[in-house]
Structure 1
């Protein structure tokens, strides 16, 4: 005749069965990615359709060693990027806390009690002292997740962590773009300053010649004062551009998070930058969904809100909790680990919501509204990304023509200035013609620098708008999700 199972074995079997059955069904709605509320192609897209931007920032800015070194310093020292990285670690820790709720807590426990019963309350009429000691392992109040509440909260925490990680990547890309643009702005300001100083030197020479001619009685005082006014105007412009250069440098240092070392490679010019940075094919708007970190973050937030609906729905169903203990108990401490002292308890409890004053319904409504808000945020992120790319493409369509036209204007203005000087020295024209030609040349040169800066800044912005700038050797969002799911 087979042996009758002991109560201890029955309790252990019930415990294992309860734990295995705790992976209940999910009440979260099935996730469906909303349709992208944008056109299937960019309005100004030209050239071949390309997949995602495959160039890393080291390759994209590969021709300028100084810029690469400055970007590397910024990625290492920028305080905003540090804060974003720390926030990722904080949210990852919160996810680990929530994930731990899917497993039972097992604690080693030990306790002892001694109780004295007075003779007046003792059934024997004598004073007695009783002792109880026990030691073992316990599971304190573990929730059996039959309706997926804990799993939904875990999924919510996971998606929030992934969203925060994408926010960090977005900050990473934005920092690279900001540093590159500010670096280009500093180069442009230095070129403007160099041009202004050349014009100032010419104005100084013109004033000196006019002063000599006036002293000799050849030139009029009008020509002298005109040359003097032009010299002072250019001198004021030089001071203004010097101020702009210093402010541009300070802004770059703030982005980098540290002073620029003197050992950096020599800086180039805007003209050399144009030869180093190539045009980018835009690809399709649908590709933004998989490479723009702000869009990926918005989708993770949407997935988190979707999972949170499951947790809110589970609040309408019974909550089952389990408390268990297994170990040894004895009235004598010395006999605690002797045979025959085994003890166990198995105490499931269930709570069925009957009346909560509408709280559960309100929480479900809040969860559903939060999901709708995240859908709106997701669609807005896509539209914003689409506009950024479309705007950059619109600028790229005409900025090359502007640069070429400004370069031709500088050539013509330079020749006009040379001719006006020759005619003035020959006594054909007044100094006013020289002044006008000089002003035109100065303006044309400054606007050529501005056009070149606009082209390079726009190309840098397009690179960032397409999701370029993240190191491809880093873990992708899909790899991160797979790793964390496998670790559950």
Structure 2
């Protein structure tokens, strides 16, 4: 008898193992296309790195295959900028919100992975109540039941629907991580450009202060000459007009500086009322009569930027990495939609104890158990699954187009800033020469006016031309440093795609 029971147990075990083996084979199936990164536009080199175009403009770092440091802003050697960007990385509210969004994505990944495992439940209950005796007039009886059980259910991932969903969730989480890095890089660049713009506003204020003092002296001289009967009231009016218009320009620059300071405060997570930035030490060059500052010295010798080749840009831009990961997630969703066309198998099991008395409930005579599979296959859903499949394919196509467009925009960013650095440096040299000629014109006109050869209108015209050319030169300083920061961030700012590989 024992031999027969052993054989039965052996046969049962073999059937179970065979079923498990068959289930393992079935669960290795994955519906939908495996992901393969599509082709995208690229080029062997950047158009604006052609040596024949460089001329006297900004030179590209050699060798240009070298990497860029992660804390790219430190190449400017500005302690104030370093401290501000450190605060941005910690306290900027947009970055904090983006990081919270990334944590949401990782939580969704955890939820998706949970579907790969069985669900276990444990229940206990007790009931006490009366049962009517019926039409024979018997008294109602009191019954009580107690129940304790453990249950389990599992939906084997036969067609890979869960695994594709996990794959999509992981890709989405990686895309979210790259988006955090892209936002952080963009915010760092915005702060750096705003900071340098504020420093150049300080230079403009210094320039206006010096100019206003000169114009005040000119007005005083003209007023004295008018009192002596040498010049007319028109000369005084012209000198006063030039002075007051310059004072108005100085006030406008002060307004811009205040607003830039407010913008920096918000970027570092502070209210404008709690933040201020002290002006740097500035001076007037005795030869050129131009304002000299750390920013003007920086722009005169901008640090090299390792540009590299276009193909490396795909691995160095977090926004490109985010678009690529979103595309991969959309591809996995096609598999999820495909698996929905196939039947679903559910395996359930339950066991426990049930009896009328709580003491002694856990005993062999009161035990019960149940186990069994269930299979479900929708026969008609009005096109619901077909629509979901078509939608998944369209979403993937959309993400492919967005990925390719992101790459094209990235190439444009690099090329735009390369050509800006190359031509703005040449433009600045020409503009500096124009300022020198304008200064010469002012000196000559003032001497001729004192000699009575020309009227004050000619002096005012040459002085206005000088101020206008100096303002343009200041503007070019701002555009150059903005393009330099823009190039660094367009190249990824030292970022690398491996930073999200394990997320």
TMscore range, shorter length: 0.7 to 0.9
Deviates more, 1:300-309 or 1:250-259: 250-259
Name the CA shift for 1:106/1:475 in 2 (closer, same or farther; >3 Å): farther
* Deviation (angstroms), 1:36: 1.5
Contact 2:113-2:166 within 8 A present in 1 as well = yes
Structure 2 residue aligned with 1:72: 86
CA RMSD of aligned residues (A): 3.1
Contact 2:265 2:275 in 1 (8 A): no
SS of equivalent residue, structure 1 residue 5: helix
C-alpha distance in 1 between matches for 2:361 and 2:41: 70
The answer to whether 1:479 aligns with 2:502 is yes
| Match in the other structure for 2:55 | none
Contact 2:43 2:311 in 1 (8 A): no
Task: Go from structure 1 to structure 2 and tell me whether the alpha carbon gap of 1:20 and 1:111 turns closer, same or farther (over 3 Å shift).
Answer: farther
The 2-side partners of 1:460 and 1:401 are apart by 18
d(CA) in 2 for partners of 1:288 and 1:369? 27
Q: Look up the SS of the partner of 2:346 in the other structure.
A: strand
- Alignment partners' CA distance in 1, 2:118 and 2:11: 22
Inter-partner Cα distance in structure 2 for 1:43 and 1:371 = 31
Deviation at 1:271, TM superposition (A): 0.9
Of 116, 128, 138 in structure 1, the residue corresponding to residue 151 of structure 2 is 138
Aligned with 2:263 (options 224, 244, 251): 251
Report Cα offsets for 1:136-181 as digits up to 9, x if no partner.
43224x3211001111112112211211111111110000000001
Cα drift, residue 326 of structure 1: 3.7
With over 3 angstroms needed to count, the CA separation of the structure-2 counterparts of 1:192 and 1:322, relative to structure 1, is same
Is contact 1:138-1:326 (8 Å) kept?
yes
Once the two structures are overlaid, the 10-residue window that deviates more, 375-384 or 59-68, is 59-68
3-state DSSP class of the match of 1:107? strand
Q: Distance in 2 between matches of 1:102 and 1:162?
A: 21
Partner of 1:483: none
Query: Structure 2: where are the runs of 5+ without partners?
Result: 51-59, 282-292
Secondary structure of 1:144's partner? coil
Distance 1:87 1:381, change over 3 A: same
Aligned residue in 2 for 1:486: none
1:44 counterpart = 2:70: no
Normalised TM-score (structure 2):
0.85
Q: Which residue of 2 aligns with 1:63?
A: 77
| CA displacement at 1:320 relative to structure 2 | 0.8
Matches of 2:377 and 2:187 in 1, distance apart? 52
Q: Which residue of 2 aligns with 1:375?
A: 400
* Residue 29 in structure 1 maps to residue 29 in structure 2: no
Q: 1:333 aligns with which of 333, 338, 358?
A: 358
Is contact 1:115–1:129 with CA below 8 Å preserved after alignment? yes
Counterpart residue number, 2:285: none
Cα distance change on mapping 1:58 and 1:390 into 2, 3 Å:
closer
Match of 2:186 among 161, 166, 174: 174
- Does the 8 Å contact 1:169/1:293 carry over to 2? yes
**Partner of 2:238: helix, strand, or coil?**
helix
Tell me what 2:108 maps to.
94
For the residue of structure 2 that corresponds to 1:92, the secondary structure is helix
For residue 42 of structure 2, give the secondary structure of its aligned residue in structure 1: coil
Q: CA–CA distance in 2 between the matches of 1:178 and 1:52?
A: 25
Q: Name the structure 1 match of 2:341.
A: 316
Deviation at 1:329, TM superposition (A): 4.4
Is the contact between residue 25 and residue 146 of structure 1 (CA under 8 Å) also seen in structure 2? yes
Q: Paired residue for 2:244, among 216, 223, 232? A: 232
Q: In the TM superposition, what are the counterparts of 1:292-303 in structure 2 within 5 Å? A: 292-303=317-328
Q: Deviations over 1:265-289 (max 9, x none)?
A: 9575321332674131321222121
Partner of 1:104: 118
Find the aligned partners of 1:264 and 1:207 in 2 and give their Cα distance.
32
Deviates more, 1:292-301 or 1:334-343: 334-343
Displacement, 1:220? 2.4
SS in 2 for 1:335: coil
Distance 1:127 1:378 in 2: 75
Give SS of 2:432's match. helix
The one-character-per-residue Cα deviations of 1:222-249 (angstroms, maximum 9, x if unpaired) are 2222212211221222222222222222
Deviation at 1:436, TM superposition (A): 2.1
Shift of 1:324: 1.5
In structure 2, the CA distance between the partners of 1:434 and 1:302, relative to structure 1 (3 Å rule), is same
What is the number of equivalent residue pairs in this alignment? 475
Do the aligned residues in 2 keep the contact of 1:173 with 1:464 (CA within 8 Å)?
yes
Give the match's secondary structure for 1:306.
helix
**Residue aligning to 2:481:** 456
Given that residues 51 and 287 in structure 1 are in contact (C-alpha distance below 8 angstroms), is that contact kept between their aligned partners in structure 2? no
